[in-house]
Amino acid sequence: MWTLGGLNAFIGGLCAAEMGALLPASGGDYAFFLAAGKPYGEYGDVPAFLFAWTLFFMDPATTTIQGLTFSAYVLSLPYPNCAPPYEVKVLVTCLFITFATAVNCFSVKTSTKVQDVLSGLKCAFLYAVIVTGVIYSFHGNHIWDSQSSGSVPPSTGDLASAMYSALYCYGGWNAINCVAEEVKNPGRNIPIAIAVSVVITVIIYLLTNLAFFVVLDTDTIANADAVAVTFVRATWGQGMAHVMPLVIGLTVFGTTCANVVTSSRIFFAASRQGHLARVMSYVHVDSSVPLIAMVVRCLLSLAFTLVGSVHFLIEVSILLGNVLDAASVASLFLLRRSMPDAPRPYRVPTIIAVLRLIVCLALSAMTLVQVRRYAYQYALVAIEFATGAVCYYLFVRKKFRLRVCERLAVFLQKCFKSAPCSNELDMLDESVVEWK
C-alpha cells in the first residue's frame, strides 16, 4: 500500500507540476479550476466555487486531525497506562491549533524557520530509524516471516481504507502550487520541487516501513497503537521510548504550520474572486499575511475538535480529496483545450494524466462496494456539495448580502489592521481569454 500510495502521489505530482508551471497563482487547484471554467460562460466558475467551498471545511478538518494526533502522542506521557480524559484531549488539541495559527499570523519568516527546524528533526528521526533497520537486518529480521496468525483476507473496503491512510501520509505534494505566485521562476522551479520532493518522501517512507518490518514481527505491528514508539522501545530502549511521543508531536506541529500557510492561501484566493467572504482576502498592512483567513480557518478547526474521531475525519477528507483530485486532472485536459498554444515549461505525458484520473475514480468506486460502512462519509460529502450549490446561487449569482455581514467585515478589517490587495487571478483570466 505504501508503494502504491507513493506511485499515486508521484503521478499526481506530475499533473500538478504542469498546471503549476502554466498558471502560477495563489490558490493552487482553485486557480486551475477557475481558469479551466473561464471559457464556458457565466457558470464556468461553479467547479472553482465548489472546490473552495469544500476546502473551506476540509482543510480545517485536516488541522484538527493533526491536533488530535499531537494530543494522543503528547498525552501518552502523563497517561501511559490509560486513555486521557476527553476534556484534556480537547484542551490540548485546541491549544495546538491556536498556537500553530499564531506562529503563522505574526511572521512568514518565523513560520518558515519553525518549519525548517521541525522538518529537519523529522528527517533526522526517520534516517535514524532506517539506519537502525539496516543494522538489525544483519542480526536476523522479520521480513520473511509468515503472515500474521490472526489475519484474514482484506475486503475491497479494507483495501480502500488502507490506501486512504497511505495517501493521507503522502498528502502535501501539491502544496507549492498554493503559493505559486511567491515562487521565483515558477516554470522551472515548481516541476523540479514537486518531482524531487515526492521521490525523496516516497523513498524515505518505504525504507522506514521496511525498517519496522525488519525489527518487529507482523503481529506486533498489527497490534501496536504507535508503531514508531514500539520500534524505538525494541531498539533504542525504554528511555528513548518515553521521549518519542514528544518528538513525534513536534514533527506534527511542523506539518501543521506548513498546512496553515498553504491552505489559508486558498481561502485568500477564493475570497478575492468573491467565492468566499471578501474580508478573508484582506492582508495585514505590515506583514502582507492573510490574517483574517487564518483566524477563520483556526475557528473552524477548533469546531471540528468536537467530532473527536481521527479515523472518521481522515476518511471524509480523503474521500473528498479523491473527488477533487479527479476534477483537478479533468481541469488539466480542459486547460489543454482552452489554452493549446500557451507556453508550458513542463507537460505531463497524457497517459500519466489518464492513469491518475482512473486511479482517483477507482478509489472512490472501491468505497461504494461497502456503502454501509461509508454511509456517513458519503452523506457528509453530498450535504456539503448540496449546501455549496445553494450558497453559490444565493451569494454569487444573486449577490445576496446581509448588512450585518458588511458591518462585521469593516469591524474585522479594523481589528486585524487589514486591507485589500491586487488580484493575480484577474491576470490569469486575461491569459485564458488571450489563448482561447
Block means of pLDDT (10 residues each) for the chain, 436 residues, are 83 86 80 86 87 87 87 84 85 92 80 84 90 87 58 61 73 73 77 86 90 86 79 87 85 85 80 86 81 89 78 72 85 89 87 90 73 71 88 88 82 84 57 47
Question: Is 279:412 a contact under the CB 8 Å cutoff?
Answer: yes
Grid coordinates of 266? 486558498
Quick one: pLDDT at residue 146? 47
Quick one: pLDDT at residue 432? 47
Reduced to 3 states, what is the DSSP secondary structure of residue 135? helix
- DSSP string across 384-430: HHHHHHHHIIIIIIS----HHHHHHHHHHHHHTTEE----HHHHHHH
Helix (H) and strand (E) counts for the chain? 16, 2
Read off the pTM: 0.81
How many domains does the chain contain in total?
Answer: 1
- DSSP string across 258-311: HHHHHHHHHHHHHHHTTSS-GGGG-EETTT---HHHHHHHHHHHHHHTTT--HH
Where residue 107 sits, what CATH number does that domain have?
1.20.1740.10
The residue segments making up the domain with residue 230 are: 2-435
Quick one: pLDDT at residue 151? 52
Quick one: pLDDT at residue 95? 94
Question: Is 305:64 a contact under the CB 8 Å cutoff?
Answer: yes
Quick one: pLDDT at residue 132? 93
**Interatomic CA distance for residues 389 and 43, integer angstroms:** 12
Quick one: pLDDT at residue 158? 65
